[in-house]
Structure 1
Amino acid sequence: MSHQHKRSRQAVDGLLEDIKVVLLDIEGTTTPISFVKDVLFPYIRENIEDYLKEHWDEEECQADVNELRKQAEADSEADMEGVVTIEENKNTDDAEEVKAVRDSVVKNVLWQMDADRKITALKQLQGHMWTTAYKSGDIKGEVYDDVVPAIKHIIADDRQVYIYSSGSVQAQKLLFGYSTQGDLLEIFSGHFDTKIGLKVEKASYLNICEEIGCKPEEVLFLTDVTREARPASLAGMKTCIVVRPGNEKLTEEEESEFNTIHSFSELISTDAQNKKKK
């Protein structure tokens, strides 16, 4: 065992000590990164045309299209390269015109996804499509097997567990509400997204502490990337990097800077050992 691994192991042993809240990232922490890349986004690409055709006359769908149209107009005015505009559907009784408008929406959505844009209009439509997919059973949120037992252990000691992800609160609740392990929403005390602040900013973590009413040093934040762990540490939180298959590889410097675990089960085992010692 290397000196570095010994240092990390000793630090991990005390991670839950004096902690009242555990704050969890999703992608690469509770859920494989591949779930988003290989399941959620491909679902949009493969089903956008059929979804629009089926839901076109619904108020929610038209509201999504209007937001995409406004964004496309703004992109066009900004001379954005490759922008796909969406025409007004003036004659709703003209089947060919309706199809032409739908086709332009499909092209616009695919163009934005190709550009990896995170704009609200796109997220809104994607969220509604994923809602339909989760509720129909076409998609189930993937959660690592070690996550739920660990969370149940954590909350059994009167600690609370919150989620903080760049994905919307709605998307978070769908993933955990319709997961491969059933409805998991009751094990979480709350959810945060980027409305509380960006995950790379120290202020966001202070805002979360203020919101849930605890001190930063009473919070343990688990994430898969150091660019999120670092500002959380600067805010005063305990932090730990979760190393999973497919996650961004840590540098030697990052490994020496942060605690690491490969499974949530490590939190349970070390916490149980510490209780026996006491």
Structure 2
Amino acid sequence: MSSSPPPKRRKEVESAISSLQNDTKIILLDIEGTTTPITFVADVLFPYIRENVAEYLDVHWKEEPCQQDIEALRLQAESDKAAEGVVSIPDLCDKECDEKTMKDAVVKSVLWLMDNDRKVTALKQLQGHMWQEAYGSKLKGDLYEDVVPCIKRWKTEGKDVCIYSSGSVHAQKLLFGNSVEGDILPLLSGHYDTKIGAKVEKDSYTQIAEDLQVEPGEILFLTDVTREARPAKEAGLKSAIVVRPGNKALSQEEKSEFDILESFKELWPEWEDQSDEQEDDK
């Protein structure tokens, strides 16, 4: 499990940070760089797709879910046809195109989308199906050490914890259902992905609040990306930036714009104080 020891925070910021939970009913969590190390996604999950997509297509090509994934990717490629380097995928009904040629086009299209960091539903859908096979045997979802204890504490306080990630809901459930802490899905109350909207768009957060039937100000959104925290804040949500080892460094402007956490535990100053005392006793 990845370690992220709670830092000793200055007392003058503790009150502001802990107040983020005032009148909060929903905790909305990002995954990459927030609950889970970026390295797990970048160095484990994504390389698995790159290395195994061709074999996956060979094994599952004629199955309905795979065919649906391919059609979604074809439509995405059609939508992106003006983009430089995009790889078009022949229609599955095109009898003039042999299976190998079509498979090669799908593989190249998937790699192009990943190379260009496209967080589109068609790609996430295929990735989710591939990870489904790997989790439990080849993969375990990595989590920071503070994640599960804090989710449990939120639950005891009557708050619901939901996930909002660019990864598909299916992929989210695979990660949390097959984590290094076991199956923690029973601790989570909801999942959102790009089907509700992009994470950099204000309307996405408005839609989430409406779906959860709460006021935007009753949601606390925790993410490592200011481009996501900003539209959430504009939509009326409370937002804070989570700084984890390996995350992109924040500018001074970003640090002054948002409350900063290095551990979820910092939302409870007394928990931090206990951690500091235990550290001092060692």
TM-score (normalised: structure 2): 0.82
User: Structure 1 residues 250, 180: closer, same or farther in 2, change over 3 A?
Assistant: same
Counterpart CA distance in 1 for 2:178 and 2:85 is 36
Trace 1:1-278 onto structure 2 (pairs within 5 A).
Answer: 5-73=10-78, 75=80, 78-87=81-90, 97-135=98-136, 137-270=137-270
Could you give the per-residue CA deviations for residues 201-230 of structure 1, whole angstroms, max 9, x where no partner exists? Answer: 333222222221222222222111222222
CA distance in 1, matches of 2:158, 2:214: 14
Q: Compute the displacement of 1:180 (Å).
A: 1.4
SS at structure 1 position matched to 2:140: coil
- The alpha-carbon distance between structure 1 residues 67 and 211, as it changes in their structure 2 partners (threshold 3 A), is closer
Larger displacement relative to structure 2 (21-30 or 200-209): 200-209
- On the 8 A contact 2:120/2:194 being kept in 1, the answer is no
Give the 3-state SS of the residue equivalent to 2:109 in structure 1: helix
Q: Which residue of 1 aligns with 2:3?
A: none
Query: 1:89/1:12 Cα in 2 relative to 1: closer, same or farther (>3 Å)?
Result: closer
- 8 Å contact 2:160–2:189 — kept in the other structure? yes
Question: Structure 1 pair 46/217, CA: closer, same or farther in 2 (3 Å)?
Answer: same
- Measured after TM superposition, the shift of residue 89 of structure 1 is 7.0
C-alpha distance in structure 2 between counterparts of 1:51 and 1:198, whole Å: 28
Matched residues in 1 for 2:76 and 2:199: separation?
Answer: 25
Q: Measured at CA, do residues 272 and 38 of structure 1 come closer, stay the same or move farther in structure 2, by a change above 3 Å?
A: closer
Gap change, CA 1:118 and 1:205, over 3 Å in 2: closer
Change (3 A) 1:205 1:80: closer
Q: Judge conservation of contact 1:209–1:215 (CA < 8 Å) in 2.
A: yes
Specify whether residues 197 and 88 from structure 1 end up closer, same or farther in structure 2 by C-alpha distance, changes over 3 A only. closer
Once residues 89 and 202 of structure 2 are traced to their aligned partners in structure 1, the CA distance between those partners, rounded to angstroms, is 39
Percent identity between matched residues is 58
Q: What SS does the corresponding residue of 1:22 show, helix, strand or coil?
A: strand
Q: Distance in 1 between matches of 2:265 and 2:223?
A: 15
- CA distance in 2: counterparts of 1:256 and 1:141, whole angstroms: 33
Which SS does the other structure have where 1:240 is aligned? strand
Gap change, CA 1:100 and 1:32, over 3 Å in 2? same
Q: May I ask how many residue pairs the two structures share in their alignment?
A: 264
Q: Which amino acid aligns with 2:109?
A: N
Pairwise CA distance, 1:57? 2.6
Instruction: In structure 2, list runs of 5 or more residues that go unmatched.
Output: 1-8, 274-282
Gaps of 5+ in 1: 274-278
- The amino acid of 2:130's aligned partner reads M
Q: CA deviation at 1:43?
A: 0.4
Q: CA deviation at 1:196?
A: 2.6
Q: Which has the larger radius of gyration?
A: 1
Cα distance, 1:245 vs structure 2: 0.8
Contact 2:143 2:180 in 1 (8 A): yes
User: TM-score, normalised on structure 1?
Assistant: 0.83
CA distance in 2, matches of 1:73, 1:228: 28
In 2 relative to 1, CA 195–51 (structure 1 residues): closer, same or farther, beyond 3 Å?
closer
Quote the Cα distance in structure 2 between the aligned partners of 1:47 and 1:31.
Answer: 22
Measure, in 2, the Cα distance between the counterparts of 1:85 and 1:203: 31
After TM superposition, the structure 1 stretch with the greater mean CA deviation from structure 2, 250-259 or 22-31, is 250-259
Q: Distance in 2 between matches of 1:31 and 1:129?
A: 19
TM-aligned CA deviation for residue 187 of structure 1: 0.6
